[in-house]
Amino acid sequence: MHEVTRYGVTACRSGRNTSLTTCAKLESPTELAAAKAAHLHALLLMTHGNCLEQFVSMDANIQESLLSLAADLALQISALSELALVDAQDQSASV
């Protein structure tokens, strides 16, 4: 197994599998989800309104990459939101 870590991002290779993880120290799931939502919002601003013409004129591979990145961010936000909910339920159960 090989592993490389830089600035809170770890890339790990084990056999044929590669994983990529991000560690956000000292941030709650809610804070991290809010930051990711802001990133997603900024990214999606490129796909409509005044930027739509520029987006449509981009190479199809670039469009696909941009939309794939948006989908990845949405999935991260969903997972972080679920984690925040589980944390809140655990805290209320321990009180």
The helix (H) or strand (E) run that includes residue 32 is helix 29-44
pLDDT of residue 74: 97
The helix (H) or strand (E) run that includes residue 31 is helix 29-44
- Separation of alpha carbons 57 and 34, rounded Å: 30
Q: What region does 39 belong to: left with phi over 0, alpha with psi -120 to 50, or beta?
A: alpha
pLDDT in tens, 24-39: 888 899 999 999 999 9
Q: Please tell me the pTM assigned to this model.
A: 0.84
pLDDT of residue 17: 96
Supply the DSSP symbol for 58.
S
pLDDT of residue 43: 96
pLDDT in tens, 44-56: 999 999 999 999 9
- Separation of alpha carbons 53 and 46, rounded Å: 9
